Amino acid sequence: MIDIETIPNKYPVITLCGSTRFKDEFYRVQKELTLKGWIVISVGLFGHSGDTEVLNDGVKEMLDDMHKRKIDLAQAIYVINVGGYVGSSTRSEIAYARAHGKKVFFLERSDEMWEEVIGRVRGIVSADSSLVADMANVSAILHDAFGWWWTGFYTVDKTRNELILGPFQGPVACTNIGFGKGVCGTCWARRESVIVPDVEKFPGHIACSSLSKSEIVVPILSASNDCLGVIDIDSTNLNEFSDRDRQYLEQIAAIVAVLKY
Ligand code: SME
C-alpha cells in the first residue's frame, strides 16, 4: 500500500490505473487512499468485470482518452498491478503519467520493477564515482521507484564503533547508532539482513520517526564478509517488506560493495 501519510487539510489528487478485472482491489485501494487523505479518481466502468457497455462502439476509446484526462487532474497515479500484471492501456497510462511529471505508485513491487531498479543502479554505480555519490543516487532511485517513508544508508565507522548516517531520502534521522543497537546495529552485528514487520515488536528499535511502522535493513558486505554499512528502509505500513525485497536489496548492496571495495 502507498507509503504516505495524510497532510492535514491538504488533499492531493491521485488517479487509479490498472486492469478493470481487479475491481475488488480498485475499491479496496480507493478506500485506503481516501482514508490516508487522498482525493481518489477511479475508473467509471469495469469492462473486465461485467460492465458490457464498454463493448459498445467507441466506448473503450472514449474511456481510454478520458482516463488520460483523469491523469491530467492528478498529482500522482496508483497502478493496481495485482500479481505484477500491467496491460497495454495501463502501460501507456504509466508512460503518459511519467512524461507529464506525475508520481507513479504501484500496488505490488513486481520482479519487473525490481529488475528495472537494479538496471538503474548498475548504470549509475561505477568504480570511478565516489561512495557518497553512489549511496545518494541509490537512495534516490529506490525512493523514486517505491516511495518509501525513509530510504538511506548508514556507514560503519570502525574507530568509533558506530554506524554514521549516510545519504538518504526522507525525514531527518538519528546520526549515530552503536554496534548491536536498534535494527541497523543488529544487522551490522549479525552481518545479515533483518526484516521487521512491526517495529514496536522489535526490542531496542530506534524510532527516528513515529510514523515508521515496519523496516528492512540489509548489510553491505565486502568480499571478506566485513560489514561496511547498511541500507535501511522504513515504511509507514506494517509488514511492508518481503523476502523478495530482501533479495533485491542484497543485490544492490553487492553492486555497491563490489564496485567500491
Ligand atoms: N530504526 C532504525 C534507526 C534508523 S531510522 O529508521 C532511519 C534502527 O532501529 O536501527
* Per-residue pLDDT tens digits for 154-212: 999 999 999 999 999 999 999 999 999 999 999 999 999 999 999 999 999 999 888 89
Cα of 246 from ligand 1 centre, angstroms = 17
231 lines ligand 1 (CB under 6 A): no
Question: For residue 21, what pLDDT band results from cuts at 50, 70 and 90?
Answer: very high
Range from 69-73, 76-80, 100-104, 178-182 carrying the lowest mean pLDDT: 100-104
On whether both 31 and 139 belong to a single domain, the answer is no
pLDDT at 10: 84
Beta carbons of 227 and 188 less than 8 angstroms apart: yes
150 lines ligand 1 (CB under 6 A): yes
Name the residue range of residue 169's domain: 111-260
pLDDT at 129: 83
- Please give the span between the terminal C-alpha atoms of the chain, in angstroms, as a whole number: 36
On whether both 76 and 141 belong to a single domain, the answer is no
On whether both 139 and 254 belong to a single domain, the answer is yes
Question: For residue 150, what pLDDT band results from cuts at 50, 70 and 90?
Answer: very high
Atom of ligand 1 nearest to the CA of 152: 7
Instruction: Indicate if the pLDDT at residue 261 is higher than 60.
Output: no
On whether both 83 and 119 belong to a single domain, the answer is no
What is the DSSP secondary structure assignment for residue 166, as one 8-state letter? E
pLDDT at 130: 86
On whether both 168 and 193 belong to a single domain, the answer is yes
Please calculate the CA angle 161-163-164 and round it to the nearest 5 degrees.
120
Q: Whose CA is nearest to atom 5 of ligand 1?
A: 208
Mean pLDDT of the chain: 93
pLDDT at 9: 66
Cα of 224 from ligand 1 centre, angstroms = 26
Instruction: Indicate if the pLDDT at residue 258 is higher than 80.
Output: no
Q: Which residue has the cell 530506534?
A: 206
8 part of a folded domain: no
Taking residues 2-26, report their average pLDDT.
86
Among residues 106, 137, 169, the one where a domain terminates is 106
Taking residues 15-23, report their average pLDDT.
97
Grid coordinates belonging to 258:
563490489
pLDDT at 69: 98
Q: Higher model confidence: residue 1 or residue 249?
A: 249
184 lines ligand 1 (CB under 6 A): yes
On whether both 23 and 72 belong to a single domain, the answer is yes
Residues contacting residue 230 through CB under 8 Å, at least 6 positions apart: 153, 154, 163, 184, 187, 188, 217, 218, 219, 220
Question: For residue 6, what pLDDT band results from cuts at 50, 70 and 90?
Answer: low
Q: Which of 150, 131, 208, 202 is nearest to 176 (CA)?
A: 208
pLDDT at 260: 57
On whether both 235 and 188 belong to a single domain, the answer is yes
Residues contacting residue 215 through CB under 8 Å, at least 6 positions apart: 183, 194, 195, 196, 199, 202, 205, 232, 233, 234, 235, 241
168 lines ligand 1 (CB under 6 A): no
Q: Whose CA is nearest to atom 3 of ligand 1?
A: 206
On whether both 222 and 168 belong to a single domain, the answer is yes
Among residues 73, 106, 139, the one where a domain terminates is 106
Cα of 153 from ligand 1 centre, angstroms = 10
Report the domain count for the chain: 2
pLDDT at 8: 60
**What is d(CA 124, CA 204) in angstroms, rounded to the nearest whole number?**
35
Residues contacting residue 236 through CB under 8 Å, at least 6 positions apart: 3, 4, 5, 149, 211, 212, 213
* Most informative mutation of 143, 183, 202 for ligand 1 (most atoms within 8 A of CB): 183
The three-state DSSP-derived secondary structure of 79-138 is EECHHHCCCHHHHHHHHHHHHCCCEEEECCCCHHHHHHHHHHHHHHCCCCCCHHHHHHHH
Local structure of 162: helix, strand or coil: strand
* Per-residue pLDDT tens digits for 211-237: 899 999 999 998 888 999 999 999 988
pLDDT at 127: 80
Question: For residue 131, what pLDDT band results from cuts at 50, 70 and 90?
Answer: confident
On whether both 100 and 120 belong to a single domain, the answer is no
On whether both 195 and 79 belong to a single domain, the answer is no
Q: From its phi and psi, is residue 9 left (phi > 0), alpha (psi between -120 and 50) or beta?
A: left
Q: Whose CA is nearest to atom 2 of ligand 1?
A: 206
On whether both 152 and 194 belong to a single domain, the answer is yes
Residue 79: phi and psi, rounded to 5, are: -95, 120
141 part of a folded domain: yes
Beta carbons of 184 and 149 less than 8 angstroms apart: no
174 lines ligand 1 (CB under 6 A): yes
Instruction: Indicate if the pLDDT at residue 5 is higher than 80.
Output: no
Among residues 42, 77, 106, the one where a domain terminates is 106
